[in-house]
Structure formats: structure tokens, C-alpha cells
Structure 1
Amino acid sequence: MTPALLAEVMEATWPPLRRWQVGPFTLRDGAGGGKRVSAASCDGAFTEEGLAAAEAAMAEPLMLVRAEDSALDACLEARGWRVVDPVVAYAAPVADLKAELPPLAAFPHWPPLEIARAIWAEGGIGPARIAVMERVTGARAALLARSGDRPAGVAFVACHGAEAMLHALEVRPGLRRRGVGATLLHAAANWAADQGATRLSLVVTRQNTAARALYARLGMGIVGQYHYRMK
């Protein structure tokens, strides 16, 4: 999965409210939907003047810096922008992640049920991020997982062509370490296969070691890394 394709899939399955160009920089208005939909990115060669213009155009300067953006990273460092939330992207073939699940272990639906919204809210995923999901124009679904007949976790999955991406996976604290995260991953793959997708990807902060261990255990491989820099 190339960096360009990863960025394209992220944008399509977790879209900002609007985006516009300032020279080689793409600026985004996430409308409160988090860093992923609010960070600017650089799409080509830039100058100090161009970077200053992009910085001035952002109410809250935030830049997504990919592995190939070493010159930009050094320039932002020199300008006093600090690194926040290093991120790792994982992906695997949908066929490798599919699994037979017990009835009602997890099921896709749209729009999100109130209990799904409540679980997201418990984890800090509120209306602004639900609005991001609602902006997706392709196939999409909320996934609600159960553990012991109790609503236990929720996630969002969407498709962009043959690519599917999982976002906003949240498991209730009291029901963690019971396989709910794996159930949601399998349910996402099952849904993605029904949509004709062949690969499932996701992004996670580097420090979330528990989630990363789960993704590795399920056979997902690292396909990209990036971090943010904040003024």
C-alpha cells in the first residue's frame, strides 16, 4: 500500500468538512472531528514563504508529516512545531481477516444505533466525529459488538473502491480483554468482503501497544507511519 493510496483511502473514508490549497499545501477544516481531518499536508516541493503562508492560513496550525516528508519535518522543527501523536498504519487482505462469528456477536448497520453512539461517546467520540462518518459518500457501516449479551464495542468501517478502512474502534473499559476488538476486526472484514473490498486497513497511535499487538496477532502488517506537528 503506497503512501499516496493510504492518504487517499483515509481522506475518502474519514473526510474533512472542506479542503483547499495554499500553494503545495492542502489545508483542511475538520469541524471538530479530530487531527486526522484537521491537519494540513504537503503535496510537493515547498518554500519557506509557502510554508509561512500555509501557517498563516490555519487557525490552529497542525501538519501531518509522512516518512517521505523529511525536509518538511526539519523545517517545522526549526520553526518550533512539536511532534504529537506518532501514528502507525496497518493493513491485511480482507480474505485473511474474515471469520465465522456467532450470531449477533457483531453486526453492521447504518445509521448508528443509539447504543453505538453512547459507546462512542463514552470513549470521547462525540457528534463531531459522527458527522465525519456521515460525510462519507461510499459504502459505510457502524459495527456493534456484544459480549455476554451486553453491548461491548463499536467501530466504523467504510469503503473506497477495493479498499476498506476501519475507524473509531471503541471497546467499553469493563469489557476489554475479552476478544471484542478481534470480533470487530473480523466483522469489519466480513462486511468489507460483502462490498467487494479486498484489503482492510486502519491507523493507530504508536503508543497504543495493546491495539497494535492485536492487529499484529491477526496478521495485519505495517504499511505506513506518520506523525503530526503542532505549532
Structure 2
Amino acid sequence: MEISSSGRLEVRITAADVGKRVSVRRLSDDGDTGEKFTDTVGVLTSWDNGVLLITRRTGERVRIAESSLVAGKVVPAAPARRRGPAASYEELARVSARAWRPVESERLGGWELRAASGFTRRANSVLPLGDPGMPLDDALAYASAWYAARDLPAYVQTATGAEGTQELLCADLEERGWVREVTAGLWIGSLAPIGDRDAPGVTLSRTADDAWLGRYQRKGLGEVALKVLGSGPSVWFATVPDEEGEAPAAIGRCVVDGRWAGFAAVEVGPAHRRRGLGTAVMAALARRALDEGASAAWLQVEDDNAAARALYTGMGFAPHHSYHHYRRAADAGAAGHGFGAAEPYRSA
């Protein structure tokens, strides 16, 4: 907290600091006999009518009464990373977008409108990486009409928690009634330690064959889904066969793009879990990516997938930022368009 020369805490932020990352301390009453301090760190997204709204790294918005402030200051936009590759949000957003291409897209200034007949939200949402070239309300109206013409709900993919992410846009969407449906994390790590692990019995292919698709969690795949799965600069599919000839014991997908290797669809059959097959799949894919010149790795994992988060932490991955999908409130029928809980990044 900011301390004056007299040793007292001071509030050194104002409404002019909206859009900056801040750290504030406030008085709160938890029902006990005395008051206590509560600290909040995040992006100051608004300060109106005596109320501050601060968006935390996870996208959670915290309302704080101005009258409860004890101290506050502007802090660096993102904490320094202690391990793993350095990366900006925009770099990772563009790399991850190239690894999961839609079948159809259109530019709207710095926005990209993406559609793939409803196969996953990421391939059927707006990716806003700049100014749309028109007022926000007009851009949202254009995007909504664009998706409606394709019989799809309108989604906007946003991010929070790193320098250059979109806390202000998240706040603007929520003020306009858009609903956040899904939050997941994008994690990064060094590639070489992953490739150093054992990878027995893993075969690699450039295409997702019938066996691979037999393990993939999304069923009823059509031509559009196959195009999305096969999209990316350099795509590899990994398979661990089942000894009894059933669906593969484990599968995975990796897209190599310059220095980055993106892992996805790492899935292990229920009868084959806790045998290290998820790690083996990633190790085999990592070795191929290293051969192609990659040095860093990224993946996306749902917040509620404890098993995957534990696996990735043990492999040296760490969270970089959170990403969210906002749905236009009028599109109440989104569930009918084949969207699952989040993205096809499950592991065990």
C-alpha cells in the first residue's frame, strides 16, 4: 500500500486511473466485533457514484464503496514472471487463434468474426484484438447480425489478467447485458522439459484418423469439425492404441507455430487413467515440436478441471491469463448449437 512520509496509508488513485491495474485496501466487516482490512488487486474498470469496480485476474468483478477505501495505488500492469517463456497477451491470442481456425471469418477493423457451424465457441466467436473501427454498440450490433445470419448465437471472446487484456471491454459487455458463460485459463511453459519425459507406445500422424476420433470427446463430428481440427501452421495428432483393440487409450493434438507449440485434446480413456499416458502423449508431441524449432508451449484448461491443472503444473506450466466467452443475452438458445462446457482440452 502507498504510505506517506508521515507513515500513514494514503489513497493515491482517482477516477482518472480507470483502465489501470491498481491495488486497494478497504475496511470490511465480516460480522465479528471489529473491522478488518481487505486487499484487492486488479484493473479499475469504473468509478462512478462513489463505487469502484475492480476486475481481478480471473475476470471476477469486485464492487468497493469509495467511503471504505483506506489506501490505494497504481501497480505494474502485470507481475514479473519467474519462470517459463516471456509472452504478451496479443502474441498468445494470435497464436492460439491460428491453432483453431474457423471455416469462415470476416474482419471488422481489429476484430475478427469467426464461424464454424457451431463447433466450439472459439471457432464461433468474435476475437477483438483492436478497435473495430466504429462505436462499440454499432460493432456489437453488426456482429450480432452476422451470427444471426448464420443461425448462430453471438459470442465475444475476451481475456483478463495480463498486460493488454480486456477488462474494460468485459465491463462494457456486462453493462450491455452480455452474459459470461465460460472462463478458462491459458497456461504457458518451456517445451524442452516436456520432451524429456518418456513417451512409450505413442504414434504420431498428420491427420485425425477414425481411431483418434473414436476417443475424441466431441461426438457427431462433421466435415466442419474435421477442418477445424486440421487447421493450423503445423498440426500433429498423437495416439496410444488400446491393447484390446477398442478406442485408443489416449490421444492428443499439437500445433507448431514458430517458437510455440500448442497442446489440445489431450484425453485418456477412463480405464487407462493414472498410468502416465497423458504425459506420454504430450512428451511425444513436444519432441516433434522441438524438432521443428519450437521452444515454448501453451495450452488451455478449464478452471474446474482439477486433474488437468495438477498434471500441467507438474509439467512446469503456469497460468498466463484467463479468457472468457460472453454471449448476447438475447441468444438464449446457445445450448442448441453444439457448444460444450468449454473447449476440447481435457486431460487425466
Q: TM-score, normalised by structure 1?
A: 0.89
- Which residues in structure 2 correspond to 1:117-156 (within 5 Å)? 117-120=213-216, 123-124=217-218, 126-127=221-222, 128-136=224-232, 138-146=233-241, 151-156=248-253
- SS in structure 2 of the partner of residue 135 of structure 1: coil
Kindly provide the CA deviation profile for residues 165-197 of structure 1, in whole angstroms up to 9, marking residues without a partner as x. 111222112222222211122122111111111
Once superposed, which parts of structure 1, at least 4 consecutive aligned residues long, lie more than 4 Å away?
146-150
Match status 1:28 vs 2:114: yes
Structure 1 gaps, min length 5? none
Contact kept in structure 2, 1:192 and 1:200, CA below 8 Å: no
Match of 2:127 among 41, 46, 67: 41
Identity of aligned residues (%): 25
Structure 1 residues 103 and 179: CA distance shift in structure 2, 3 A: closer
What residue in structure 2 maps to residue 53 of structure 1? 142
- SS in structure 2 of the partner of residue 33 of structure 1: coil
Contact kept in structure 1, 2:185 and 2:321, CA below 8 Å: yes
Match status 1:214 vs 2:308: no
The answer to which structure, 1 or 2, has the higher relative contact order (CA under 8 A, 6+ apart) is 1
RMSD: 2.0
Q: More helix per residue: 1 or 2? A: 1
1:23 is displaced (CA, Å) by 4.2
1:135 and 1:222 map into 2 onto residues whose CA distance is 25
- SS in structure 2 of the partner of residue 188 of structure 1: helix
Structure 1 residues 95 and 149: CA distance shift in structure 2, 3 A: farther
For 1:70, the aligned partner's letter is: E
1:18 and 1:43 map into 2 onto residues whose CA distance is 18
2:286 and 2:243 map into 1 onto residues whose CA distance is 22
What residue in structure 2 maps to residue 89 of structure 1? 186
Contact kept in structure 2, 1:41 and 1:63, CA below 8 Å: yes
Contact kept in structure 1, 2:181 and 2:324, CA below 8 Å: yes
Q: TM-score, normalised by structure 2?
A: 0.61
What residue in structure 1 maps to residue 97 of structure 2? 11
1:57 is displaced (CA, Å) by 2.2
1:162 and 1:201 map into 2 onto residues whose CA distance is 11
Of structures 1 and 2, the larger Rg is shown by: 2
- Which residues in structure 2 correspond to 1:97-116 (within 5 Å)? 97-101=194-198, 103-104=200-201, 106-116=202-212
2:159 and 2:197 map into 1 onto residues whose CA distance is 36
- SS in structure 2 of the partner of residue 129 of structure 1: helix
Contact kept in structure 1, 2:237 and 2:253, CA below 8 Å: yes
1:117 is displaced (CA, Å) by 1.4
Structure 1 residues 57 and 41: CA distance shift in structure 2, 3 A: same
For 2:240, the aligned partner's letter is: A
1:163 is displaced (CA, Å) by 1.1
2:136 and 2:119 map into 1 onto residues whose CA distance is 29
Structure 2 gaps, min length 5? 1-86, 329-348
